[in-house]
Amino acid sequence: MTSWEKSQFIWGWLFILPTMAGLLVLNIIPIFETIYQSFFKTGDFGKGNVFIGFDNYNKLLHDTEVWRSLWNTFKYTLIEVPFSISIALILAVFLNRKIRGRSAYRAIFFLPMVAAPAAIAMVWRWLYNSQFGLINHLFSSKIEWISNPNVAWISIGIIGVWSILGYNMVLFLAGLQEIPHDYYEAADIDGASGIQAFFKITVPLLSPTIFFVLIIRVIGALQVFDLLYMVMDITNPALKNTQSIVYLFYQYSFTYGDKGYGSTIVMLLLAVIMLITFVQMKGQKKWVFYN
């Protein structure tokens, strides 16, 4: 190896060192620490650790609260993921055209991604207020959007779709701009309608981007926590059964002080995410088309 190659090698590692250090400290080490703690009974602030083997996992299998929270998380995912992807795709197709004010519309839809979560929560809590909220005022109704357990998850799902819509749209816009316009010109010559061009050209050629967005949104939706924490009053006994799996982890780890069982809940979520991702990776061969 020449001195120039050595210099390039050293500088290359120096440039990626901050990223590698961040991954090690913030991602890799916590993963192994979580696995380790799942085999212990822990006290407040991690004190009094007692090795209990697989007792936490045995408790998990018979804990109805865990499985109910996991089901609640699935319900949120089934609301947020399909609607956020389909609406974002339609918006991306529309805003990919040369229309007046296109840049302004893109910025407006992306705005929720850069807004402070606390501010978003305050606005939606006001909109959902059953007494003087704007939504009930517009529809002359008295629906308890965030205090009725029967509709609370739909309300949270609406916020989830609204908040992630702009991000999905930007990803789809990037994918649409990679599709050669020649395909649409040929389809127009053949007399294909706009809907036919969308399903026969846009969707197949955009399928890699759709697949990527689907992967990251499923993973993100399964980790929903902040919306519940800031919008819904989970301390309300009527809403106790509406908590997500990550919120349950938060309760055990930071409210009850049992980080061992909280780590076990996280391991369950990790296994679920890995399983769903594996199924998605296998299923992509049937509908994702790479150029």
Whether 5 shows a pLDDT value over 80: the answer reads no
pLDDT tens-digit profile of 166-194? 999 999 999 998 888 888 888 888 888 88
Confidence of residue 158 (pLDDT cuts 50, 70, 90): very high
Find the mean pLDDT for residues 273-291: 90
| Residue 208 burial class via C-beta count within 10 angstroms: exposed 0-12, middle 13-18, buried 19 and up | middle
Confidence of residue 129 (pLDDT cuts 50, 70, 90): confident
pLDDT tens-digit profile of 20-55? 999 999 889 988 988 998 998 876 655 667 888 899
- Of the candidates 172, 181, 170, 180, the residue with the CA atom closest to the CA atom of residue 209: 172
CA–CA separation, 30 and 159 (whole Å): 30
CA–CA separation, 242 and 71 (whole Å): 9
DSSP 251-286: IIIIIS--HHHHHHHHHHHHHHHHHHHHHHHHHGGG
Confidence of residue 130 (pLDDT cuts 50, 70, 90): confident
Query: Which one-letter amino acid corresponds to residue 190?
Result: D
| pLDDT at residue 46, as a whole number | 53
Domain boundaries, the chain: 62-286
| pLDDT at residue 100, as a whole number | 82
Find the mean pLDDT for residues 248-261: 88
pLDDT tens-digit profile of 141-157? 888 888 888 888 889 99
| pLDDT at residue 4, as a whole number | 80
Q: Which CATH architecture has domain 62-286?
A: Orthogonal Bundle (1.10)
Whether 238 shows a pLDDT value over 70: the answer reads no
pTM of structure: 0.87
pLDDT, averaged across the chain: 88
| pLDDT at residue 45, as a whole number | 58
Please check whether residue 287 is in contact with residue 207, taking contact to mean a CB–CB distance below 8 angstroms.
Answer: yes
Find the mean pLDDT for residues 273-283: 94
